[in-house]
Structure 1
């Protein structure tokens, strides 16, 4: 691990146009933290590696771990249908066919509710036909998760229950949150905090139910493919539109700690972890195919080996956390800008120098040397 090279790679991402980036890299007993760019572009405040930030769908691994702990306690059964537990939310034959495992692994066939919840994104993923107006319109909208689930259930199915490839959908994780509330009698955010976050000693991690982030954090700039120019800060935003599917706030150190413990069998049992790591093809929001288990990605990095973890994106913020199969190498990184790519005449996001700079940093951070 070469600290000067890692820092140079971060600096290159900022120089390529990225507003801000932070990262923590661990190789065996060595660790390195770095930052580049600005936490507040208007005030000229620098990014700091200790800042808390929204990390989007990294949240799903925390929710999946909480569900697996309920399975271990005998409270629920992954092979039972969601219709058995929540027949009023997914009724009839469809509810009877969709198991909890399918919800966790994105093979339920349920569509994502997002295009219906945000009207100006109704053409998503046909990006060129969308506008970002709903992001501002819904900055303080308090969504009811049951209403969001209903939108996903009512939408045209994206597959058959258990079919491959699966299709990534937040609807399934909102259903899992409702299941937690049914079984435990607590909101999913509170239960995940008590069963996963607190026991793991993640002192800078929370699932907030409000619109603000406590403690020092960067502004979070959304570009929406150049439709916000300059990028607009969405660090204050009501996160009820995703709840425990993507509302987690955390730090680099806590992400590395969490995934290190999870993949060492210290948060769920070895048998639960084994089941979480049974993967299959899932189509992501951008149309790419990912190797997905139950709340975990498997990433094959050419020449570098196999890594496990998750990435995530919300308005203005993104993150990734990866741990090598042998547990010796870890990377957690977060950025405070999203969707910087411009669209071509056909509405296809075009490559940007930021993309190449980030790939170069990832290769350096995950490498053996």
Structure 2
């Protein structure tokens, strides 16, 4: 990967596989290794995982299909500290966990764990912008210069649609700021950044391509969209998203952390490999998410994200015209088929699914719903890693959870 290529490292990629991590660098900080004796073979956590799920009766958990728990155990077997997943369909909801919430102690991740959702945030931002489009307060094909005069270089030729679909050509500010990769970001994880500082770092660099001529993932696009929301609505982007999406859907455990470095409520510790192979994992649970801004700072749960994507694809948040525009995908350079804040996933066992992935130091998230909206799946790992084995196991787990065997009913 191109160092530090944090567009694919920290805030999220629309890609299905886990984001790649910058070359490992040793840095001081709290770190915990996974003792060999603490690693368990697949299946070792199945019984405890079911008990953990029962702790939240609102989720109506059940034993589920055995393949689902085996898929979670297989992810943990690759060295991931812990994993939480929820599968939701018309027949019920299944929650499963595996591994550890904290490497210093034994104990499964909470079934209702809060986690940093990374660039799944982008779908919330895109939904809010498209609501304004439906209200004729924003035009998709209008230049961003109309809403943010003299803010974005070449803003007369970059449209709102370009920003939503990562076709603006704007340089990714994460590449510009952290030349030392994840180790540098980890060292500065408590610093507060303003959106203006993030954009200034991006705008010091030449564009990657002419607006609209190609597609390449850039977190800068969604920081610009956050500024656009503020300009059009007169209130912060975070409040506008909360008022329009989070609160109406009753997503009780989804929020923007603001300046708080802690995760409110039950959560697993988040880990990050920043040293040579085999080094202890650094604890990245606490961090100031201002560096992610409206590109990836949201905190949520598997349950809330499933509710969100079910409502979105079910047409509760957007009129048909705007929802169709969101799902109209085009390829990104080195990335997935991507629409407007939404990526598309296909597979023979489930057909087509829409959603987003997210990755921040400490957490990796996959949240998808099938195209017919009959099943929602969210999978959260409490680590960000470049392990090929983990990428393969997480990808397989997501696809397994999206697949409903003939005749099977979710408990």
Structure 2 length-normalised TM = 0.80
Does residue 57 (structure 1) correspond to residue 106 (structure 2)? The answer is no
Does residue 365 (structure 1) correspond to residue 365 (structure 2)? The answer is no
Which among 133, 138, 144 is matched to residue 71 of structure 1? 133
Which among 135, 150, 156 is matched to residue 96 of structure 1? 156
The residue aligned with 1:192 is 241
The residue aligned with 1:317 is 363
The residue aligned with 1:26 is 88
Offset at 1:240? 0.7
Q: Deviations over 1:77-115 (max 9, x none)?
A: 111111222122114xx1100001100100000010112
Any idea what SS the aligned residue of 2:307 has? helix
Offset at 1:154? 2.2
Tell me, which stretches of 5 or more residues in structure 2 are unaligned? Answer: 1-62, 406-411
The residue aligned with 1:213 is 263
Q: Deviations over 1:99-144 (max 9, x none)?
A: 01100100000010112222313xxxxxxxxxx4312331211111
Tell me, which stretches of 5 or more residues in structure 1 are unaligned? Answer: 122-131, 342-350
**TM alignment of 1:172-251, pairs within 5 A:** 172-210=221-259, 211-224=261-274, 226=276, 229-251=279-301
Kept in 1, the 8 Å contact 2:87–2:401? The answer is yes
Kindly tell me: are residues 306 and 17 of structure 1, through their superposed partners in 2, closer, same or farther at Cα, counting changes over 3 Å? same
The residue aligned with 1:347 is none
Kept in 1, the 8 Å contact 2:272–2:283? The answer is yes
Kindly tell me: are residues 135 and 304 of structure 1, through their superposed partners in 2, closer, same or farther at Cα, counting changes over 3 Å? same
Which among 174, 179, 183 is matched to residue 114 of structure 1? 174
Q: Deviations over 1:261-287 (max 9, x none)?
A: 00011011111101111110112xxxx
**Counterparts of 2:361 and 2:194 in 1: how far apart (Å)?**
19
- Please tell me the root mean square deviation across aligned C-alpha atoms, in Å: 1.7
**Counterparts of 1:155 and 1:228 in 2: how far apart (Å)?**
36
Kindly tell me: are residues 205 and 278 of structure 1, through their superposed partners in 2, closer, same or farther at Cα, counting changes over 3 Å? same
The residue aligned with 1:124 is none
Any idea what SS the aligned residue of 1:77 has? coil
Structure 1 length-normalised TM = 0.89
The residue aligned with 2:391 is 355
Kept in 2, the 8 Å contact 1:226–1:340? The answer is no
**Counterparts of 1:206 and 1:238 in 2: how far apart (Å)?**
14
**Counterparts of 2:248 and 2:286 in 1: how far apart (Å)?**
28
Offset at 1:293? 0.4
**Counterparts of 2:103 and 2:403 in 1: how far apart (Å)?**
32
The range that moved more, 244-253 or 218-227, is: 218-227
Q: Deviations over 1:152-171 (max 9, x none)?
A: 1221311210112x000010
Offset at 1:12? 1.9
Which among 58, 65, 76 is matched to residue 14 of structure 1? 76
Does residue 272 (structure 1) correspond to residue 322 (structure 2)? The answer is yes
**Counterparts of 2:359 and 2:225 in 1: how far apart (Å)?**
20
**Counterparts of 2:183 and 2:233 in 1: how far apart (Å)?**
38
**Counterparts of 1:133 and 1:227 in 2: how far apart (Å)?**
14
Does residue 36 (structure 1) correspond to residue 98 (structure 2)? The answer is yes
The residue aligned with 2:143 is 81
**Counterparts of 2:187 and 2:78 in 1: how far apart (Å)?**
31
Kindly tell me: are residues 228 and 71 of structure 1, through their superposed partners in 2, closer, same or farther at Cα, counting changes over 3 Å? farther
The residue aligned with 1:328 is 374
Kept in 2, the 8 Å contact 1:189–1:208? The answer is no
Offset at 1:45? 3.0
Any idea what SS the aligned residue of 2:332 has? strand
**Counterparts of 1:159 and 1:192 in 2: how far apart (Å)?**
30
Offset at 1:31? 2.2
The range that moved more, 199-208 or 43-52, is: 43-52
Deviant stretches of 4+, over 4 Å: 224-228
Offset at 1:43? 2.2
Does residue 292 (structure 1) correspond to residue 354 (structure 2)? The answer is no
